[in-house]
Structure 1
């Protein structure tokens, strides 16, 4: 087998491992590396060659999710009006938050603090792009910024797993409604 083919196989294995790990993190109570390797169709040696520790794998899943979330903002704006783009970005936030919650629950405090510190900047920047576009077209309130929204959506960390599906998207819709620029009220004309 030539080296180009080996690199392609290694990249495919890595991508499958990350995809399966993301699904396990989002849906399972327990994260077992041997089960992830088996579901990904690789041996444990292959998994450990790519990710020497559990934290390495979980951190990579989290970093990839952050990267996808950040990249989604300009892509959504290219296809949709700002308010719709923000609503669709919020849909992605729900999926991201579910994985983030699983990762943070499974790694040591020092690891999750480091991951969180490195993701807030890029996520805030992506959110700023969406909010700026909405303010420019008049659909988003002018008095909110990315930090306001990040603080508001931080409640996702407080949802219990059994209420996630029923509440996460609904509550983000409430936040989105609060971000809309209020309609100008029609003043009654004096008689």
Structure 2
């Protein structure tokens, strides 16, 4: 599956969220203006490069502003105004959800494209209570951990309760998802 196909799936999911939120939906992919399709493809490329939903929103804002769009209380293609051209923290939750859904779709479809269900699952966002591997700086062996809270940093940055080999527990704060081999990071256990 190529990036354009992934962008199309993301675009259609966004349309579904717009309809669910009682917003005026974007046109279907085949009827969408070129700038809108280009924006979705760029979003896929940035998500594949590791941008978080917050960073994806910032990139989307930069893309829109570079094309002459400005903040406006109503989305208007002709006036190039959009109510979401604000810092991420000022977005309503329903709008933030679109960035998380976009990133999740890209991660899952990229994993499927790689022919690996484990890779697809590996790109899912963590939730409280999930068991993960923690990779400390002083050991090559991972340590079992449980996600005990999510952070404001990014959807893949968590606080963990670690279960140390001596039977004690320890809190690890601001731990990021990364590839095995890095330190002070977490990864999904092999399935």
TM-score of the superposed pair, with normalisation by structure 1: 0.27
Relative contact order higher in (CA < 8 Å, ≥ 6 apart):
1
Structure (1/2) with the larger helix percentage: 1
Q: Which is higher, the Rg of structure 1 or of structure 2?
A: 1
